[in-house]
């Protein structure tokens, strides 16, 4: 079954997917198919390396960051159901149709520091329902908790180009057929095991972590002879979309916690563009997510580019992390 057929026949929570949402999702996914081709060409068409510019976060942009952002804007701006969009790469949201029902948020190219070393990167997206479709677009329209998401997903550009999607009734996965350009359904009802023996975190930052995170990781490293009484594997790709894809594919825990290098910042990852959509996917697959104290999907955002500590994956481990933080 291809993606368009899935959208036409799926009935999440017993109801057909609204036509406007189908159109928007189709535009996003079609653009990601194009972006997959651009990523694969890389050095052959001069797309690697720094663009010499910075984004609103003050981070150095790669050439593909800008290309991905522009492709997504161009790919969706014709959707009549879309009222506006916001990107991690832009300071302010962009109005589109003005009277549409939906809002799109995206990280156009997550893990872009890995572009030049040919490691998996990806696109993350989140769709909200505009509370008042008739009112002029404002930044405040986007500042809704993760519980307001009507769809979320990512596309990971790796050996295969694979998409994970949730419409609030489980998680499905598709893989791009690069001959036909179609995304084909490969896995229905994706689930994350309740317990795990695998975690992902950047160990080089261990000296900067808060005590609860350090305690958790030290217990994992102690292995079968420690309090956890089992051996853990550690993984770290430094691309959230790839690390979370591994969690959805075979379980585990992904952590990008607060650390004391920038104590005034609650975390590194963006709530609206990364943490919320990934938390939606993980919860829908039976896992959980937290910033340590609170469930991420329950957080009320106050800024379009708000940052947050992120721990997500197998529920048993997330419950333990929350307990250690309490």
Task: Please give the annotated binding residues for Mg(2+), written as ranges.
Answer: 88, 107, 109-110, 274
**Interacting residues of 182 by C-beta distance below 8 A, sequence separation 6+:** 2, 3, 176
Helices 315-325 and 211-222, packing angle to 10 deg: 130
Instruction: Tell me the C-alpha distance between 56 and 64, whole Å.
Output: 16
The helix (run of H) or strand (run of E) holding residue 110 is strand 102-110
**Interacting residues of 264 by C-beta distance below 8 A, sequence separation 6+:** none
Q: Residue 270 phi/psi, 5° resolution?
A: -90, 130
| Rg over CA atoms, the chain | 19
Q: How many helices (H) does the chain have, and how many strands (E)?
A: 7, 17
Residue 8 contacts residue 22 (beta carbons within 8 Å): yes
Binding-site members for substrate are 110-113, 202, 268
Instruction: Tell me the C-alpha distance between 79 and 97, whole Å.
Output: 8
Distance separating the N- and C-terminal Cα atoms of the chain = 45
């Amino acid at each position: 079954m291809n993606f368009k057929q899935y959208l036409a026949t799926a009935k999440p929570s017993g109801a057909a997917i609204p036509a406007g949402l189908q159109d928007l999702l189709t535009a996003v996914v079609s653009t990601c198919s194009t972006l997959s081709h651009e990523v694969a060409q890389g050095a052959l068409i001069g797309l690697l390396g720094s663009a010499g510019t910075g984004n609103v976060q003050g981070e150095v942009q790669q050439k593909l960051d800008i290309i991905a952002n522009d492709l997504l804007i161009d790919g969706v701006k014709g959707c009549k159901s879309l009222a506006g969009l916001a990107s991690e790469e832009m300071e302010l949201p962009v109005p589109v149709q003005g009277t549409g029902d939906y809002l799109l948020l995206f990280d156009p190219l997550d893990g872009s520091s890995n572009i030049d070393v040919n490691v998996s990167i990806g696109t993350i997206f989140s769709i909200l329902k505009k509370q008042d479709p008739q009112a002029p677009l404002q930044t405040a329209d986007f500042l809704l908790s993760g519980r307001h998401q009507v769809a979320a997903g990512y596309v990971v550009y790796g050996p295969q180009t694979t998409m994970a999607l949730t419409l609030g009734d489980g998680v499905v996965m598709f893989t791009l057929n690069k001959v036909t350009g179609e995304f084909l359904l490969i896995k229905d009802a994706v689930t994350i095991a309740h317990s795990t023996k695998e975690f992902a975190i950047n160990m080089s930052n261990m000296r900067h972590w808060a005590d609860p995170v350090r305690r958790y990781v030290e217990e994992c490293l102690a292995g079968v002879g420690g309090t956890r009484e089992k051996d853990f594997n550690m993984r770290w790709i430094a691309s959230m979309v790839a690390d979370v894809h591994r969690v959805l594919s075979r379980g585990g825990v992904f952590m990008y916690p607060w650390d004391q290098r920038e104590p005034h910042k609650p975390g590194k990852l963006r709530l609206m563009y990364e943490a919320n959509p990934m938390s939606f996917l993980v919860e829908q697959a039976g896992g959980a997510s937290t910033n340590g104290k609170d469930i991420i999907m329950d957080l009320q955002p106050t800024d379009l580019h708000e940052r947050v500590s992120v721990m997500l994956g197998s529920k048993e481990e997330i419950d333990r992390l929350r307990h250690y933080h309490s």
